[in-house]
Structure 1
Amino acid sequence: MALFIMILRKMVNNKWLQLSLLFGLVLSVALTSSMPIYTNAILQRLLIQELKQLQTTNAQYPGIYWLSVNLPAEEKEKSVKIPQTDAFLQKNGDRFGLPMQYFVRERATQRYNLAPAETDKVDINRQRSADITAIDGMDGHLRLVDGRMPAKEAVNGIYEALVIPEALTELGMVLDTVFVIQDDTRKDPVLIKPVGVFDRKDYSDLFWYNIPSSYKNSFVIDFALFEKDFTTGDKLNVQSSYWYFALDYTQMTLLTIGSFISTHFMIDKHLDDRYENHNYNAPALQTLGAYYVKEANLKMMLWSLNVPVVLMLGFYLYMVANLITERQKTEIAVLRSRGASRTQIIMGYVAEGLVLGTIAFLIGPYLGMHLTRVLGASSGFLEFVQRAKLDVSLNREAFLYALAAIACSLVMTLIPVFLATKVTIVGHKQQSARQQKKSFWHTYFIDVILVAVSLYGLYNYKTRIKDLLALGLKSGDLRVDPLLFLIPAFFILGCGLLILRLYPLFMQLVYKAGRRWWSPALYFTLIQVSRSTIQYQFIMVFLIITIATGLFSASATRTINKNTSDKIRYSAGADITMQIRWENDAPPAILTGITGEDGVEITEENTDPAASKRKTQYTEPSFLPFTQLPGIEHAAKVFIKKDATFTRGKTKDTVQLMGIDTQEFGQTAWIRPGLLGHHFYDYLNLIAPSPSAVLISRSMAEEYSLKSGDTITLGWNGIEGNQFTVFGIIDYWPSWNPNPGANDQVTVTTKQGTSTKVKKPMLVVGHLPYIQNNLALEPYEVWLKLKPEASSQAVYKAVADHGYDIESLRDAKQEQIKAIKDPFQMAINGVMTLGFLISIVICFFGFLLYWVLSLHARTLQFGILRAMGISFFQLLAMLLGEQVLISGAAILIGLGTGSMASQWFVPLFEMSFDPKTQVPPFKVTFDPHDQVRLYWIVTVMITSGLVILGHIVSRIRIHQAVKLGED
């Protein structure tokens, strides 16, 4: 206890340094613990959103868990197996981890032929077949349309049943008609009589898994009666049994995903052990199964994004620990000289670290929880929006991360202590009298190694991107490759250190160049800085990393957001593109398959094979209403034929043909400025005067040696070709991807044999009226440009109100909103913003702490200067000169390094996407507003620091400084 009190007293004596160290520890723990908190929060939001989207897209409730078993007629133990499964599911239904809204059991016999017992009521010659069905608990969920509710027991040997309205037509019957179920294996006949017609009470009621029309060949009787007479009594063959859970999916969390999946496997094993044929339908399973991969990828992304901040925190902790150790080196050396072992000294500092670490552990995770909310509200670098708050909560993993952060931080703070314990009192005095010429990282060329590694990574990634684009390969899931974030951080650190290696030489050159003319204050400043660069390197590295990381983060975030937005707008072509149904005389198709729970696909087949070769005639709907829709600025017709045929001489190939009206297309379509050799409008104006003029893609021009003025023939299957004249060559065009896909490969036969090469897509752009008049009139797409304040939903409603049927639709604005909410996009925006803010705070405290301690250490020097006649304002000018040469130089180096890192390494983020689909090409984006915000933050930090330093200098007393000279 006495030892602990002594350690606390020692910490109090250095309270400001200890508080600074505690501040860094708390931020380290908060940042680290925010990673699992954020991962869980964002995945939780994404999970619910995807499940809701699943419900909207498939019109099926995501909380469904439906089971079915088919029982063969020869099955002898069905009366035992089915009740066992009932009990098993009722017992284990709670294991899904979700509130159970309904648990429904349904049974059905096989379908039997029916014969009317009363021949005077119905047509006896009509073929009828039906099954007997029972649904547990349906009484409270149905509405009686006609008749009455059936009896709970057989009445005079007749089973009373409910039917749906469609069953009366399907089976050709009326209520109270008695039917005999024809079963040759039974001696006693089974009689059934419909006494009521029912429908669902509420069409949104989750109790009903099947729609009522699926029971058009069913008699529905009381469930308990069915169980007694059929399931157990074996009066008829029970062919199917169904179990249905309706679970509240909105209560699903990442913790319940494992419970849901494990319960599913347990149920599946139970059914597999007892039944030969069984099926299930659980829409949420596919969504849930992907979340473990997303969770791992997101965690890796967060760690990678936080690398620069982790480096900053590591530097800060090491610097503060080094400052503490420097002030106590004499004490450590004395203890070593008097017999204390290195272990004993280190354990004393370990105890100090544990005290601070305990405090950080109690505060950090809760601070991390609040930092997570900052991540959720960020929509760009240093941009925040009013978004629904993330549902954040502390978990066990967050505290484990906090412990790991404390352990790593403790190691960082003990490194200076470990090095200091190696020195005796004699060695310490010798080191104090000597000037250190090189720092650790310069002695062992750490700067050169970091720059070399980063440049190698840059070369490697550029080569990979080039290969992917050339070969049309897929990039895979490289968005979480840590090297994408480690390499720029290494470059920033290495480049900063490399410049600092040369900076003393530059300072000496400046000093020697003007030493005859420098004023005493400036002379002193140059001498001080050029001879003491080593002691300033920590603070300079701080500022370099902060500024460079800020610029890189701003550029990377802005570039990723802008390129994602541009990719969506380019691939869509316009704000909204849609395909409207055209009336036509195409022959009707018959279905050769069905789509159902068994997964059989629907296919279509023409009734007349010869009819498929006949040219289909289309009726063009009126286009004028589209130009008059509310919120529409411009509208254009765009005809796209992906399998058009290009012919030139004996050469024949497949190209994509696009037909446009030049003026309307130019007003409606979107393309990024600077993407083409000339302005987008110049190409449209080029072909506008000539109806047969076309633009062709560069891939087509290079493949077939085409140039302006050449004539080509275009058509498609069943359409005779017509001649067009090439007027220009383009590299990009709205909605067209010039990059080859994974399947764009052809086999080429040469004298040396056969080989495979990548075939690039080809495009021809011509006039729509000319194509319609000389080739064929076929459906075109409608492209719409919205006014800035227009609502997409209002446009959809207006199109429907005009009677148009939309066959396909793309809304670029809605896709952009969805992209912003992507967890990886949110991670980049949030983490880079948060990381920069933390870096600024850490850098400010490190900057202030370093200079305050430096000034205190130079009190004697300042006192002597004042005694020699240097005025207070001259002293401030000297300090200002030091700041310019140290902090100012570091800021300039950081700006240069950050700009260089952005230009070289931000394009690597193209690997975060699939390069072959990243059209237009990846482009590094700088926003002046980001840089202005960055400069303001740094200016406020430096100014505040100078004001505080000036205040400290103003309080220095000469007589106090002179007294210190006795030391």
Structure 2
Amino acid sequence: MALFVMIIRKMIQNKWLVSSMFFGILMTVALVGTMPIYSEAILTRMLVKDLETFQNEKKVYPGSYWTMMGFYNEKSDRRAKMISDTDRFMSDEAGPGFGIPVKELVRERRTKSVSLIPDGQTSAKKISTTLRSFSDLEQHIKLEDGRLPAKQPVNGVYEVLLTEQALSSFKIVLDQVFELKDDKIMGTIKIKPVGLFSKKQDDDPYFRNASLSDLNSVFVIGEELFTQEFIKGNKIPVASSGWFFVLDYSKMELGNVNNFIETDKAIRAEVKTKVVTFQSEFTVPAIATITKYFERSKQLSKLMWSLNVPVLIMLGFYMFMVSNLIVDRQKNEIAILRSRGASRWQIVLSFAIEGLLLCGIALLAGPFIGMGLTKMLGASNGFLEFVQRSRMTVHVNEQAFLYGGVAAAVSFVMLLIPVMMATRVSIVGHKQQLARMQRMPFWHKAFLDVLALAVSIYGLYTFQNRLKDIRSLGLTTDDLNLDPLQFVMPALFVIGAGLLLLRLYPFVLKLIYWIGRKWWPPSLYATLIQVGRSNSQYQFLMVFLIMTIAIGVFSAGAARTLNTNTEDRIRYGNGADFVLKAQWANDKPPPPGPGAPPSAAATAEVVPKVIHYLEPAFDPYLELTGVEQAAKVFIKEKASFSSGSSQGSATLVGVDSDEFGNTTWFPKNLLDYPFYEYLNLIASDPRAVLISRTLAEQRGVKTGDTISIGWENVNSQPFVVFGIIDYFPTFNPNPPIGSIDVSEENGKKNAPMLIVGNLSRIQFQLALEPYEVWLKMKPGYSTTELYDSIEKMKLPITSISNTREELTKAKNDPFLLALNGILTLGFIISIVISFVGFLLYWILSLKGRTLQNGIMRAIGLSLRQLIGMLALEQLLTSGVAIMIGVMVGNVASRLFVPNFQIAFNPSSLVPPFKVIFDAIDFIRLYSIVSIMLFIGLCILSYMLSRIRVHQALKLGED
């Protein structure tokens, strides 16, 4: 207990240092804790969104689960028990096992197929039918005609329901009595349809078949009556029993996906233990969508670790630096304790208890702070950009505490390393160390800087070779095994480059001192002496600042590059803000209607070789709400061409150069000359065409050659090549994905080819066929107003490609959200930790030099000169570190940010991936750093002004 009290007192005496250490541990645990929390939250959001998309596209409710048990020759008692046991299992175990709310559990029973004969007509044509029952059916249907059936037989007749389609199929009327015939029917079974029903709500997921087409030859009887008469009474053999779950998939989270999978396995096992395999059926629409999220979860986890490694290394440096400061202040005390008989483990134990207290509190609070940070990540829309986005489902899970526990354990070890090193030194050794401040740091002795640089450059070289293979062979990123540690290389490069420049920095100081040794004023002379002789004292702070600033620059460059390249890829792929396709009037025969005779179908199949189209009016497109410019763009896939002895097929694009140039989006500096100059080339001559470089290289066509162009049933016409282009809106010159070959040359032979010509000549000389309409919108346009305008003008639009919608979808992609969120969070944490570390270091340094500063005041230096010396010292240490950090961060960005294109498919990435820096990002970064330095200098200046000469000298006497 005495030891514990002593530890608490020691922590109170060093409260600022201990608080700073605790802050670092807390941030580390919180940052690591965000990984599983954020991964689960973002994948949960995307899982629900994908299931919603599945429902909209497939028109199938994804939260459904259907299983059916078929019966063969089971006895009635055994069959009834199997149904009863399975009912109990489905309601008591399977339902709760899914982990999400069960909206409906529909029990469906079916009899075997029997013959339907009108009562009293033995010679009538036999029609096959079955009887079915559904649980809670009455709550989901409405009567179109007739009434609901009685709960019990009426005069020995079972009353039933049927659909209008079934009524038409059977060609019967309501209230007509029928007899069911079969060899295994016990006695006489008569039924009477008394009502027609339909769905109460069109989108009710209660019905497995939305159109009720599976009930076209079925009569529906009440569930209780079915159970009493057919399951227990065995009057008609029961053929099958099914269970249909309607689950609330909007409540599905990544945490209960495992429950869904395990419950699916449990249901299959339960059903298959009761029947043979071919007598069971399972339909789970969402299983494929759900299963792939396990792989996406692993990929996202790797990505988050890779992006967070630099920040975690920086936090490790911070904790090691603060721990060193704590131990440095107590080295004299530790050395005295060792000289007076205290063992090393006793001293280490006292620090270990202190560390356990800090790490334990951080572990309890860190995951909850991580949850708050996760909410901030969900609002990120770019680097240091936040938007109002729909709230993510965020909660602390077991993995957050597990990850946080590992982070706390590593932090605990980092705390003890300086303590264990300090306990090895006796009081004599400690005094000797104080007199020898020029020791070379360990990382310089071990050449860790050179090693880190070598490893990072080798990793970069390996990655670029693999990337080259992906591009040349048309592979996907899944075809090559890429080590996620490739994304750790930037951190190694930053550390290696920073340490290497710090190795050279003392020589720069000596050079500055030597150049002006005859002219430097006393204050500058003293500062150069202080920094030069105590260089190792500043190493930790300078490395720390270098890492912080370099990681900040790298994060800004990476986020801006990824966001801009993603937007450029979508804009280039679409070509314009909106791409519309409309229905054109033509002379093609209409397709035969359903039920048409074979002769009519054969006649409709005879399509004329040339279809004649009537071009609709173009002016209405210019009058649509929000439209600034519109252009006609004709695209013909697989148009044939020939030039000399060379021939092949290419994509033909016809444009009106002026309208097209004002409408389309095309990035700058992508071609040898401005894009509009190439359009001016073909505007000068109606015969002029532009060809892609892939066509020129593969077929040996050059500028000035004549090339004949046509397509099926359209005669070729001569055109003249006026220019060769590498890129054109929507055109991807890379080999198609999957064209894998061992040689790069063969990969190039599979590259797509393009021809761009004048639309008017193509329509006049070749054929008039439907074209696309590309729209450029005014700033701040409303998509809803545009759609309303299209509907109001009754334009026959068949498809719309919305670039803004695709951009929004891309920004909601979990990987891009993770990139933006993690880079933003990492930068904010880096700056906060950097400010705390910077301030803490200089405050302690200033307190440790109180006597020195007091003597300088006593010998005549003014407060202004003293503050000037302090500012110069900061400039030579912190300022230089920040400058090195900016330089290293820029180089790291240009070298390693291209690695992130592996998140896309590089073989289909157009425009080419390029590193982008935006001035606003650096303004934010430099503003924050400048404010940090300014506040720090103000605080230190205030502390200097509070020093009293007599107190400092008295301290020296003591």
The TM-score bracket by the shorter chain reads over 0.9
1:475 equivalenced with 2:474 (yes/no): no
1:751-773: per-residue Cα shift (whole Å, max 9, x none)?
xxx98875211111122232233
Q: Is the deviation greater in 475-484 or in 932-941? A: 475-484
Mapping for residues 516-915 of structure 1, pairs under 5 Å: 516-586=518-588, 607=602, 611=606, 614-744=609-739, 758-804=749-795, 806-915=797-906
Cα distance change, pair 224–15 in 1 and its aligned pair in 2 (3 A)? closer
Cα distance change, pair 849–577 in 1 and its aligned pair in 2 (3 A)? same
Mapping for residues 172-183 of structure 1, pairs under 5 Å: 172-183=171-182
CA distance in 2, matches of 1:774, 1:137: 67
Matched residue type, 1:88: F
Matched residue type, 1:643: K
Q: Is the deviation greater in 894-903 or in 481-490? A: 481-490
Deviation at residue 509 of structure 1 after TM alignment: 0.5
Q: Does structure 2 conserve the Cα–Cα contact (< 8 Å) formed by 1:553 and 1:832?
A: yes
Deviation at residue 126 of structure 1 after TM alignment: 7.8
CA distance in 2, matches of 1:301, 1:537: 31
Residue 601 of structure 1: aligned partner: none
1:249 equivalenced with 2:249 (yes/no): yes
Deviation at residue 91 of structure 1 after TM alignment: 2.8
TM-score, reference length from structure 2: 0.94
Deviation at residue 929 of structure 1 after TM alignment: 1.0
Q: Does structure 1 conserve the Cα–Cα contact (< 8 Å) formed by 2:157 and 2:190?
A: yes
Residue 147 of structure 1: aligned partner: 146
Q: Is the deviation greater in 876-885 or in 5-14? A: 5-14
Any idea what SS the aligned residue of 1:151 has?
Answer: coil
Matched residue type, 1:425: I
1:234-281: per-residue Cα shift (whole Å, max 9, x none)?
444544433211122222223321111111111112223314233322
1:258 equivalenced with 2:258 (yes/no): yes
Residue 272 of structure 1: aligned partner: 272
Cα distance change, pair 139–554 in 1 and its aligned pair in 2 (3 A)? same
CA distance in 2, matches of 1:98, 1:359: 34
1:737-791: per-residue Cα shift (whole Å, max 9, x none)?
111123346999xxxxx98875211111122232233333333223222222223
Matched residue type, 2:512: V
Identity %: 49
Cα distance change, pair 627–72 in 1 and its aligned pair in 2 (3 A)? farther
Cα RMSD for the two superposed structures = 2.8
Residue 55 of structure 1: aligned partner: 55
Q: Is the deviation greater in 217-226 or in 688-697? A: 217-226
Any idea what SS the aligned residue of 1:289 has?
Answer: helix
1:602-656: per-residue Cα shift (whole Å, max 9, x none)?
xxx9847983683344444443322222222222222222222222334332211
Q: Which runs of 5+ in 1 are unaligned?
A: 594-604, 749-753
Q: Does structure 2 conserve the Cα–Cα contact (< 8 Å) formed by 1:79 and 1:232?
A: yes
CA distance in 2, matches of 1:746, 1:371: 46
Deviation at residue 587 of structure 1 after TM alignment: 5.4
CA distance in 2, matches of 1:801, 1:285: 41
Cα distance change, pair 739–163 in 1 and its aligned pair in 2 (3 A)? same
CA distance in 2, matches of 1:711, 1:655: 16
Q: Is the deviation greater in 718-727 or in 403-412? A: 718-727
CA distance in 1, matches of 2:96, 2:902: 44
CA distance in 2, matches of 1:118, 1:435: 116
Cα distance change, pair 34–866 in 1 and its aligned pair in 2 (3 A)? same
Mapping for residues 350-361 of structure 1, pairs under 5 Å: 350-361=352-363
Q: Does structure 1 conserve the Cα–Cα contact (< 8 Å) formed by 2:473 and 2:742?
A: no
Deviation at residue 337 of structure 1 after TM alignment: 2.2
Any idea what SS the aligned residue of 2:546 has?
Answer: helix
Any idea what SS the aligned residue of 1:476 has?
Answer: helix
1:374-393: per-residue Cα shift (whole Å, max 9, x none)?
21121111111122333322
Matched residue type, 2:940: L
Q: Does structure 1 conserve the Cα–Cα contact (< 8 Å) formed by 2:116 and 2:180?
A: yes
Cα distance change, pair 376–755 in 1 and its aligned pair in 2 (3 A)? closer
Any idea what SS the aligned residue of 2:425 has?
Answer: coil
1:138 equivalenced with 2:137 (yes/no): yes
Q: Is the deviation greater in 368-377 or in 513-522? A: 368-377
Any idea what SS the aligned residue of 1:869 has?
Answer: coil
Any idea what SS the aligned residue of 2:205 has?
Answer: coil
Deviation at residue 109 of structure 1 after TM alignment: 3.5
Deviation at residue 33 of structure 1 after TM alignment: 1.7
1:541-585: per-residue Cα shift (whole Å, max 9, x none)?
122112111111111001000101111111111112233334445
1:702-754: per-residue Cα shift (whole Å, max 9, x none)?
11221111111222233332222111111011111111123346999xxxxx9
Any idea what SS the aligned residue of 2:636 has?
Answer: strand
Any idea what SS the aligned residue of 1:175 has?
Answer: coil
Matched residue type, 2:619: L
Q: Does structure 1 conserve the Cα–Cα contact (< 8 Å) formed by 2:22 and 2:362?
A: yes
Residue 87 of structure 2: aligned partner: 86
Residue 919 of structure 2: aligned partner: 928
CA distance in 1, matches of 2:398, 2:594: 55
CA distance in 2, matches of 1:126, 1:614: 49
Deviation at residue 932 of structure 1 after TM alignment: 0.9
- Match among 479, 488, 499 for residue 490 of structure 2: 488
1:836-859: per-residue Cα shift (whole Å, max 9, x none)?
111111111111111111112212
Q: Does structure 1 conserve the Cα–Cα contact (< 8 Å) formed by 2:437 and 2:536?
A: no
Q: Is the deviation greater in 699-708 or in 24-33? A: 24-33
Count of aligned pairs:
948
Q: Is the deviation greater in 213-222 or in 95-104? A: 213-222
Cα distance change, pair 401–746 in 1 and its aligned pair in 2 (3 A)? closer
Residue 200 of structure 1: aligned partner: 199
Residue 393 of structure 1: aligned partner: 395
Q: Does structure 1 conserve the Cα–Cα contact (< 8 Å) formed by 2:381 and 2:817?
A: yes
CA distance in 2, matches of 1:924, 1:627: 37
Matched residue type, 1:140: Q
Q: Which runs of 5+ in 2 are unaligned?
A: none
CA distance in 2, matches of 1:577, 1:606: 34
CA distance in 2, matches of 1:114, 1:618: 54
CA distance in 1, matches of 2:604, 2:171: 37
Any idea what SS the aligned residue of 2:477 has?
Answer: coil
1:880-907: per-residue Cα shift (whole Å, max 9, x none)?
1111111211121111111111112111
Cα distance change, pair 354–188 in 1 and its aligned pair in 2 (3 A)? closer
Matched residue type, 2:647: K
Q: Does structure 2 conserve the Cα–Cα contact (< 8 Å) formed by 1:164 and 1:213?
A: no
Deviation at residue 295 of structure 1 after TM alignment: 2.1
Q: Does structure 1 conserve the Cα–Cα contact (< 8 Å) formed by 2:739 and 2:747?
A: no
Cα distance change, pair 290–780 in 1 and its aligned pair in 2 (3 A)? same
Matched residue type, 1:392: V
Residue 442 of structure 2: aligned partner: 440
CA distance in 1, matches of 2:272, 2:610: 53
Q: Is the deviation greater in 160-169 or in 834-843? A: 160-169
Matched residue type, 1:132: L
Deviation at residue 963 of structure 1 after TM alignment: 2.8
CA distance in 2, matches of 1:649, 1:606: 44
TM-score, reference length from structure 1: 0.93
Matched residue type, 1:631: G
Deviation at residue 332 of structure 1 after TM alignment: 1.7
Any idea what SS the aligned residue of 1:202 has?
Answer: coil
CA distance in 1, matches of 2:753, 2:124: 65
Cα distance change, pair 477–248 in 1 and its aligned pair in 2 (3 A)? farther
